[in-house]
Structure 1
């Protein structure tokens, strides 16, 4: 459960870390216990995660476009099994794209 809390935590309640009375530059989230360098580490972390998601989105979008072209070019009467496989793969790709968009929206909340 602790790992789930860290994953979902927005790290809004930060405290400076001190060692022997000196600031370390790290900030600890008082809600989940994660630490990062600088007060803005949560924003930097979310931005980096969002960039990764957009890269995945771009790659899946290319795959979806390629699959759509293959589906249009395929003839289900000649090779029904191949046509069904392409449609299934396309559906899975669009489902993955929807999941990535949902993750990006969640990061932006």
Structure 2
């Protein structure tokens, strides 16, 4: 079970519940994989609803890797994600929000 207070998000992939988390290492890997911009521009794209499927996939992979998974984005190309593309986008947005939420905001 994911713990939102520590930034975790759960997502069912191929029938298995996975815990995703954007650790510092996962964030660095994510930023390195972005084709354009920085993490700030990624957050801005999500806030504006202008994110791409590549953005969603990159966030899901980073979150999985932060949760201890050792796969790559190629491993997810044919994966069944609960909720489909919208479920993946929702999990990606939650990952971003929880990774950058201030501790005092989590108490609310």
Which TM bucket (shorter chain)?
under 0.3
Give the structure with the larger strand fraction: 1
Give the structure with the larger helix fraction: 1
When normalised by structure 2's length, the TM-score is 0.27
When normalised by structure 1's length, the TM-score is 0.27
